[in-house]
A and B are shown apart, each in its own frame.
Chain A
Amino acid sequence: MKGNEAIAEAAIREGVDAYFGYPITPQSEVIEYLMSEKPHERTGMVVLQAESELAAINMVYGAAGTGRKVMTSSSSPGISLKMEGISYIAGSELPCVIVNVVRGGPGLGTIQPGQCDYFQATKGGGHGDYRLIVLAPASVQEMADFIETGYDLAFKYRNPVMILSDGIIGQMMEKVELKPQKKRFTPEEIINKYPWATTGKPKSRERNIITSLELIAAKQEAFNQKLIKKYQEIQENEIKYEALNTDDADYILVAYGSVARICMNAMEEARAKGIKVGLIRPITLFPFPTPIISKLADKVKGFMSVEMSAGQMVEDIRLAVNGRKPVEFYGRQGGMIPAPEDIVIALEQKLIGG
């Protein structure tokens, strides 16, 4: 199953209530798969092709405001269009899952894979002080699994979750084990579980309002502080990463998503040459696995970030290392993919030789 199809099937099985999207390469298989599966018959899930990414994300806003599990997906240029809506969703504290199958940019860029939307995903992206919870799948299996993880986190924190994938993971096929079908919540269950949702005001409660507007500065600041506290809580509790060969490592490669898998090959090649290399694969990009990198900084000789970007995640690694050890960067852009042997050469030239 393709990564894009796995995420769509996983969404149906998760009991997602609605998907709103707009086609764009390389993620159109998500909506194509959903439409061909007739989820309205399988589970009653709504799937709608909107007139634009703007409309799609605002449909997500509306449906998420009613306490439903709602989802959208797009690729880089489309995600930029969605950013306004994502800021409103974060500002109104609504749960939802947004999938970005990243391609190279800026502008129309290329349809080939990229990781150049890291800043956009992890630092906010839209206007205002907010964070998304960002999950980075490195396999088709994780594409499917992160739907459930994503909704668990989105509802736990009432915060939008982004699954930051790329053209490689979206387009590739591999073995995937899917979870059994979950039941969608009934309207009554939703009312009981999510008392904040705009499901129609009964006499028994005050009216619910979904908004991000607050005209009084002091109240807005209090709300900002509430968000900051939430983000701190997420940083304390939700970090996920994979560590490979870090016990005896002199050098640490840090890479996420598809590039982390290429780095596994690079790590083998380096070890065959006698260079002790380990790998940290952040699974959550926000919250970033700062503690483990900070801990490793005390014992290894240096780090190298490998990305399909001009160097974005490397800044978070440098913040974690805080000047204690050298942190270098090797990356390819424009849809070009780093080769394991080039990664090893970069490691030798930038870290070991330097």
Chain B
Amino acid sequence: MTEEIIIAGFGGQGVLSMGKILAYSGLMQGQDVSWMPSYGPEMRGGTSNVTVIISDHRISSPILFKYDTAIILNQPSMDKFESMVKPGGLLIYDPNGITRHPERKDITVCKVDATKTAGEMGNQKIFNMIVLGGFLKMKPIVKLENVMAGLKKSLPERHHKLLPLNEEAIKKGIEIIDIINQAN
């Protein structure tokens, strides 16, 4: 098994940390992982993306040009990455702020209303965990317990009290993800 994922959105949406948690989760269940961020001015609020690879064997290139899954959180990322999903692959997006919705029919497209749901749950910061939950529903490549272990590892000690809320968010994401187009 090799899963090649791009997560892309604005800086500050928790794109890099979502990728990190996913990578740690893979690590927790003994798989090879790689996490390769875009870096530079993006660190200060522009668009930001991260490539995460989880595999049962040695990972060759950490940089990819085609992905099994694209998790897209803003319009510029939609424009850039929709075309880079492999045929039969998966595209997950949050419709908040999206003006041009995905058009491809040869891939599975899912919608997670994470921004709205996070607002309803009273904490905008768990937005990325809701999205992650949605991804895990579609591709259960890592077990929830390993995600929680990965989360624990990537969160600083002082934020460990937020672990239950994060778990709730992941479960919420599993619940609300909506399949819009099934790859033919």
Give A contacts to B, CB under 8 Å.
25-26, 111-112, 167-168, 171-175, 258, 261-262, 264-265, 268, 337, 339-341
Name 21 interchain pairs, CB-CB below 8 A, sorted by A: A111-B39, A111-B40, A167-B39, A168-B36, A171-B39, A172-B34, A172-B36, A173-B33, A174-B35, A174-B59, A174-B62, A175-B27, A258-B62, A261-B59, A261-B61, A262-B60, A262-B61, A262-B63, A337-B63, A340-B61, A341-B65
Q: Using Cβ atoms and an 8 Å threshold, which residues of chain B touch A174?
A: 32-35, 59, 62
Q: How far is the CA of A268 from the CA of B57 in the complex (A)?
A: 15
Distance in angstroms from A332 CB to nearest chain B CB is 11
Distance in angstroms from B171 CB to nearest chain A CB is 26
Q: How far is the CA of A341 from the CA of B66 in the complex (A)?
A: 11
Q: How far is the CA of A270 from the CA of B34 in the complex (A)?
A: 24
Known: A111-B39, A341-B65. A261 touches B60 (CB 8 A): yes
Q: How far is the CA of A168 from the CA of B61 in the complex (A)?
A: 10
Which 10 A-B pairs have CB atoms at the shortest separation, nearest pair first? A264-B60, A173-B35, A172-B36, A262-B61, A174-B34, A339-B65, A261-B61, A265-B61, A111-B40, A172-B62
Given contacts A172-B62, A174-B59, 20 further A-B contacts (CB under 8 A): A26-B40, A112-B40, A167-B39, A168-B36, A168-B63, A172-B35, A173-B33, A173-B35, A174-B32, A174-B33, A174-B62, A175-B32, A258-B61, A258-B63, A261-B61, A262-B60, A262-B63, A265-B61, A340-B61, A341-B65
Q: Which residue of chain B has the shortest Cβ distance to A2 in the bound complex?
A: B35
Known: A111-B40, A112-B40. A175 touches B63 (CB 8 A): no
Q: How far is the CA of A25 from the CA of B38 in the complex (A)?
A: 13
Q: Using Cβ atoms and an 8 Å threshold, which residues of chain A touch B37?
A: 171-172
Q: Using Cβ atoms and an 8 Å threshold, which residues of chain A touch B20?
A: 173
Q: Residue B23 at the A interface, CB < 8 A?
A: yes
Q: Which of B20, B39, B40 has the most CB of A within 10 A?
A: B39
Q: Which of A112, A168, A340, A341 contacts B62 (CB 8 A)?
A: A168
Q: Using Cβ atoms and an 8 Å threshold, which residues of chain B touch A26?
A: 39-40
Q: Using Cβ atoms and an 8 Å threshold, which residues of chain B touch A340?
A: 61, 65
Q: How many residues of B contact A (CB 8 A)?
A: 17
On whether the beta carbons of A265 and B60 are closer than 8 Å, the reply is yes
Distance in angstroms from B57 CB to nearest chain A CB is 12
On whether the beta carbons of B34 and A264 are closer than 8 Å, the reply is no
Q: How far is the CA of A26 from the CA of B36 in the complex (A)?
A: 13
On whether the beta carbons of A264 and B61 are closer than 8 Å, the reply is yes
Q: Which residue of chain B has the shortest Cβ distance to A172 in the bound complex?
A: B36
On whether the beta carbons of B23 and A173 are closer than 8 Å, the reply is yes
Q: What mask results when residues 32 to 58 of chain B are scored 1 for a CB within 8 Å of chain A, else 0?
A: 111111011000000000000000000
Q: Which of B40, B63, B65 contacts A25 (CB 8 A)?
A: B40
On whether the beta carbons of B39 and A175 are closer than 8 Å, the reply is no
Q: Using Cβ atoms and an 8 Å threshold, which residues of chain B touch A339?
A: 65
Q: Which residue of chain B has the shortest Cβ distance to A335 in the bound complex?
A: B40
Q: Which of B23, B33, B36, B63 has the most CB of A within 10 A?
A: B63
Q: How far is the CA of A262 from the CA of B59 in the complex (A)?
A: 10
Distance in angstroms from B88 CB to nearest chain A CB is 17
Distance in angstroms from A216 CB to nearest chain B CB is 51
Q: How far is the CA of A25 from the CA of B20 in the complex (A)?
A: 21
Q: How far is the CA of A265 from the CA of B58 in the complex (A)?
A: 12
On whether the beta carbons of A25 and B39 are closer than 8 Å, the reply is yes
Distance in angstroms from B149 CB to nearest chain A CB is 15
Q: How far is the CA of A25 from the CA of B37 in the complex (A)?
A: 14
Q: Using Cβ atoms and an 8 Å threshold, which residues of chain A touch B59?
A: 174, 261
Q: Which residue of chain A has the shortest Cβ distance to B35 in the bound complex?
A: A173
Q: Using Cβ atoms and an 8 Å threshold, which residues of chain A touch B34?
A: 172-174
Distance in angstroms from A45 CB to nearest chain B CB is 24
Q: Which of B20, B33, B36 has the most CB of A within 10 A?
A: B36
Q: Which residue of chain A has the shortest Cβ distance to B26 in the bound complex?
A: A175
Q: Using Cβ atoms and an 8 Å threshold, which residues of chain A touch B62?
A: 168, 172, 174, 258, 261
Q: How far is the CA of A258 from the CA of B27 in the complex (A)?
A: 21
Q: How far is the CA of A332 from the CA of B174 in the complex (A)?
A: 41
Q: How far is the CA of A172 from the CA of B33 in the complex (A)?
A: 10
Q: Which residue of chain A has the shortest Cβ distance to B41 in the bound complex?
A: A111
Q: Using Cβ atoms and an 8 Å threshold, which residues of chain A touch B39?
A: 25-26, 111, 167, 171
Q: Which of A172, A262, A268, A340 has the most CB of B within 10 A?
A: A172
Q: Using Cβ atoms and an 8 Å threshold, which residues of chain B touch A268?
A: 60
Q: Which residue of chain A has the shortest Cβ distance to B60 in the bound complex?
A: A264
Q: Which residue of chain A has the shortest Cβ distance to B39 in the bound complex?
A: A171
Q: Using Cβ atoms and an 8 Å threshold, which residues of chain B touch A258?
A: 61-63
Q: Using Cβ atoms and an 8 Å threshold, which residues of chain B touch A264?
A: 60-61
Q: Which residue of chain A has the shortest Cβ distance to B59 in the bound complex?
A: A174
